[in-house]
Chain A
Amino acid sequence: MRLTAAATATAALSGFAAGAAQAADLQVAVEIPRLTVAEYHRPYVSMWLERGDGSAVKTLAVWYDGKKAKEEGKTWLKDMRQWWRKAGRSETLANGVTGPTRAPGRQQISFKAGASPLGALQAGQYNLVVEAAREVGGREVVRVPFTWPAKGRQSASGKGSSELGAVSVTVTP
C-alpha cells in the first residue's frame, strides 16, 4: 500500500513536469466482441467526450460505412442514439473523425492534445463515451471517467456486456 502511494506521488511529480511539454495524449482501446450470430455486420461506433453534467464536449471518432453510394451509410448514424442526440445531429465533425467500421478484436486509437479532433481541452473531469450500434443487432454505451490533464500516466477502464467488450482509456501528461 505504501509502495503504491509512493509510486503515485512520483508519477504525479513527473507528470506535472511533463505536462508543460504539451505532449499530452489520450489513448483509447475498445474491444469489439466477436459474436456468433446468423447475420453479422460490424457495428457503427462513436466516441465522444462528456462533461460531468452529461453534456457533450466533442466527437472524437465515428466508425461507419462512409463509402456507400449516395452517403447511404449516414442513414444509420442516428442508431447511435445517445451520440446522435448529444453531438452527432448538431456537430460539424472535425477532420479525421470519421473512419470505416472496424473488425472484432481490440481496436486502438489515440488523440493528441492540440491536434484535431481533441484540440485544447480545458482542465476537468470527463467521461470518454463509446457507443456501438449494430445492424440487426443491439446497442450499448460504455463510459470511462478520466481527469484532464493527467499528472502522471492515468488509466481507467469500463466494460460492456453485449455490443462492447473492455474499453480502456490511458491519459499521459
Chain B
Amino acid sequence: MIEFDWDWAFAWEVLPLLLDACLITLQATLLGSMLAIVMGLLLALLRRSRWKTVSYSAYWWMEFVRSTPLLVQIYFLYYVAPEWGLNMSPMMTGVIALGMHYGAYLSEVFRSGIDGVGKGQWEASIALNLSPYRTYRDVILPQALRSMIPASGNYIIAMFKETPQLSAITLLEMLQLAKIMGSENFRYLEPFTLVGLIYLVLSLAASTGIRLAERRFPKEGFTLS
C-alpha cells in the first residue's frame, strides 16, 4: 500500500512562505498581462495596416511566437540574449516572455473582436471624418471590448498557470520555492499539493471574476472617455 501521511505541521509551516512567493507569481502575471494586452493590441492594429509589409510582418511574428514553446522563448531571452548585451533579471525576462507569448494569442482575440464590429460603423466614422485614432478609440474598441473579455480573460488565466515555467530561470516563484522546501525537508507532498491548491483557488476566482465582468459589462454607454 502506498503510504499517504499528510503532515499538517509542515504544511502550516510552508504555507506562509508559499503565499509570499505567490506574490511574485502574481506580479509576473500582472505585469505580463499588461504587456500582453499592449502587444496584442499593437499586433492586431498592425495586422490591419494597409501596407502589406507591415501586416505580413505582424502576422508572421504572431505565427512565430505561437509556434514556439514558451519555455524555449524563456531560455532564449535569459541565456542567449545576454550574449547580445541584453541582460535582464529573471522577473524582467519572465514578464517579457509571458507578455510577448500571450500578446501573440491576444492579438487574435482583439482582431476578431475588431472584425466583429459592423462595416457600417467604419463607414459612419469616415463619413464623419473621424481620424483613425478617434475611430478606434471612440467607435470601434468600446464596441469590440465586450466580445474580447471572455477569451482575453481565459488567456490571462492560462498565463497565470504558466508562471511555474519561470522557475526554470531561477525566479523564486511558488513552484521554485516548493521545490526548495521539498528538497530541504525531504518532503514534497505538502509543498506541491499546496501550490496546486493555491493555483486552483486563484484560477477559479479569476474565471468567476471574468464571467461577472462579462455579464456586468454595459451593453451601451461604455466609452473610453
Does B bind A? no
A residues adjacent to B (C-beta < 8 A): none
